[in-house]
Amino acid sequence: MREEDGSLVYETDVFGTRMIQTGKLGSLTRDSTFSLHVQCKYTGSQETGLQINVTVYTVSPPPPASEDGILELELRIAKGGDYRSWYVDSDYPIQRILQEPMFMEIRVLDRTDPMIVLRLHDCWATPVPAPDHEVQWSLLVDG
């Protein structure tokens, strides 16, 4: 609280930061941040009363990628929904019953930017290293 031109002024800032909530079915993120500045000003006069000014500061979106490049990803398959143990190379191929859930982790490698976020919409596998191959198995749809 401070005094300004004969008025009492109270100011505070409220911040919301990036947050990750993890539950038994996966993780949810709030990727945006915000800042809210609240200012209350009391002139001491009953005629003018209390003046409240609220300003919301939004964080500008990050600039678009400046150049094309390769993003290195890693996909790991967990042995169960607790994500405590993982299949290794010698376990493959893994045999599963159709419609039986598989628990996967996909992460970006060799990046230090804490604001980078990986969002998958559709993910599929092919029998060869060609993403446009006519044979495709859907792993994630409308993620």
Per-domain boundaries in the chain = 2-58, 69-143
pLDDT digits (tens, 9 = 90+) for 18-44: 777 777 777 766 666 667 778 887 777
Question: What architecture is the 69-143 domain classified under in CATH?
Answer: Sandwich (2.60)
List the single range of 6-15, 42-51, 94-103 with lowest mean pLDDT: 42-51
User: Cβ of 48: how many Cβ atoms within 10 Å?
Assistant: 11
Short-list 108, 110, 18, 109, CA closest to 62: 18
Q: What is the pLDDT of residues 65-76, one digit of tens each?
A: 666 777 788 888
Alpha-carbon span 85 to 79, nearest angstrom: 6
Judge contact between 77 and 103, C-beta under 8 A. yes
